[in-house]
């Protein structure tokens, strides 16, 4: 009986981390987004499940089925949720998804900016369309949804943003200039939100996820090393990402803001932000010759290497 009571108390405690909160999860029709929406609902939140219903490359859309399926899962388990099929790349659509939270549940307490697409091309072959579509969804989308929410958070003097970044930006990767730029832009956006809205008790953090999703499944695997990396990725299920994201929306994360976390299987990482690592001074001012002979040799041992994300995270998921 004691063990049953203990299990019940654990379940009861865990199901209340987001009690009475209302959260919006973008790109929540599948993968990581779905897992976060399900966990947020399990933890007591009312959830707006946003998903455009498009393809991985951003084509198509207007398919409400993925979002509605997640809503049906939540309501079948006794939770509260509504579906939204707007595009995060549309400022008016972002306004509508935030209003869906307020009109259905009375307020909004948390936002997870997860929606994304991939249009990978080696840089000299990347089109302006490839660039614009990825920037519009990832970076502009994160801005649109955050901006649509900001005044609600300001008025109620509380709120939490969780934005999704990537090691493709933090470390680097081939064929992803658009995606990498967008994900590094999100780092700057998150920090600016954290600084600008700290006075209103609003938090803003980033997560770099390592997980097997339909987006990761589109990355080519031509070599044995690439195939081995993708096999390792399959072990990292989207469900492993959800707890950190949902935690960052909870009151237990009070004081945690402007940070960059990584989640890889059962590991949680903290990434450092860009800061100076070496400084050189010349009281006479710098000439090109002096830079070549003094400044660069002094700084070269501190240069960032050219490793890509798959080369940097070489250990197996644990």
Residue 217: closest CA among 60, 55, 67, 63: 55
Least confident of 15-19, 55-59, 226-230, 256-260: 226-230
Q: What is the Cα–Cα distance from 268 to 67, expressed in whole angstroms?
A: 28
Instruction: Evaluate whether 263 touches 237 at the Cβ level (below 8 Å).
Output: no
Mean pLDDT of all residues in 257-277: 95
Q: What is the Cα–Cα distance from 161 to 148, expressed in whole angstroms?
A: 12
Residue 260: closest CA among 143, 171, 197: 171
State CA 128 to chain mean position distance: 24
Q: What pLDDT is stored for residue 281 in this prediction? A: 97
2 has a pLDDT exceeding 90? no
At residue 241, φ and ψ (nearest 5 deg) are -80, -30
Mean pLDDT of all residues in 151-174: 97
Q: What pLDDT is stored for residue 234 in this prediction? A: 67
Q: What pLDDT is stored for residue 6 in this prediction? A: 40
Least confident of 55-64, 134-143, 238-247, 297-306: 55-64
- Model confidence at 312, in pLDDT bands (50, 70, 90)? confident
246 has a pLDDT exceeding 70? yes
47 has a pLDDT exceeding 50? yes
Q: Which residues are catalytic?
A: 179
pTM for this structure? 0.89
Q: What is the Cα–Cα distance from 99 to 91, expressed in whole angstroms?
A: 12
- Model confidence at 7, in pLDDT bands (50, 70, 90)? very low
Q: Which CATH superfamily is domain 14-271 in?
A: NAD(P)-binding Rossmann-like Domain (3.40.50.720)
Return the higher-pLDDT residue of 233 and 262. 262
Q: What is the Cα–Cα distance from 57 to 130, expressed in whole angstroms?
A: 9
**For the chain, domain boundaries:** 14-271
Residue 258: closest CA among 154, 135, 165: 165
Q: What pLDDT is stored for residue 231 in this prediction? A: 66
12 has a pLDDT exceeding 70? no
Residue 242: closest CA among 80, 44, 37, 76: 37
Q: What is the Cα–Cα distance from 216 to 229, expressed in whole angstroms?
A: 11
Q: What pLDDT is stored for residue 221 in this prediction? A: 59
pLDDT per residue as tens digits for the range 215-245: 555 555 566 666 666 666 667 789 999 999 9
Least confident of 57-71, 140-154, 258-272: 57-71
State CA 62 to chain mean position distance: 23
84 has a pLDDT exceeding 80? yes
Residue 161 to residues 246, 256, 280, 297, Cα–Cα distance (Å): 10, 11, 38, 42
Mean pLDDT of the chain: 90
Instruction: Tell me the three state secondary structure of residue 164.
Output: strand
For the CA atoms of 5, 11, 13, 18, the dihedral, rounded to the nearest 10 degrees, stands at -160
């Amino acid at each position: 009986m004691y063990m049953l009571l203990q299990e019940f108390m654990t379940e009861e405690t865990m199901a209340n981390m987001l009690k009475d909160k209302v959260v919006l999860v973008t790109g929540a029709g599948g993968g990581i987004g779905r897992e976060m929406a399900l966990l947020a609902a399990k933890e007591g939140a009312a959830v707006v499940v946003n998903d455009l219903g498009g393809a991985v490359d951003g084509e198509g859309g207007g398919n409400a089925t993925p979002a509605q399926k997640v809503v049906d899962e939540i309501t079948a388990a006794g939770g509260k949720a509504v579906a939204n099929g707007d595009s995060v790349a549309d400022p008016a659509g972002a306004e509508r998804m935030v209003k869906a939270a307020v009109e259905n549940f009375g307020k909004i307490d948390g936002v997870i900016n997860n929606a994304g697409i991939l249009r990978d091309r080696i840089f000299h072959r990347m089109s302006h369309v490839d660039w614009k579509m990825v920037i519009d969804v990832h970076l502009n989308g994160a801005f649109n949804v955050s901006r649509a929410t900001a005044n609600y958070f300001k008025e109620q003097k509380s709120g939490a943003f969780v934005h999704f970044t990537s090691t493709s930006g933090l470390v680097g990767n081939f064929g992803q200039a658009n995606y990498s730029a967008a994900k590094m832009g999100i780092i700057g956006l998150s920090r600016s939100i954290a600084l600008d809205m700290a006075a209103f008790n609003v938090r803003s953090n980033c997560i770099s996820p390592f997980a097997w999703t339909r987006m990761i499944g589109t990355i080519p695997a031509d070599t044995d090393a690439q195939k081995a990396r993708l096999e390792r990725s399959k072990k990292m299920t989207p469900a492993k990402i959800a707890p950190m994201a949902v935690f960052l929306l909870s009151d237990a994360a009070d004081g945690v803001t402007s940070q960059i976390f990584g989640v890889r299987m059962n590991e949680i990482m903290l990434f450092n932000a860009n800061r100076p690592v070496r400084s050189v001074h010349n009281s006479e001012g710098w000439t090109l010759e002096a830079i070549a002979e003094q400044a660069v040799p002094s700084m070269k041992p501190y240069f960032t290497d050219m490793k890509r994300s798959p080369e940097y995270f070489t250990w197996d998921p644990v």
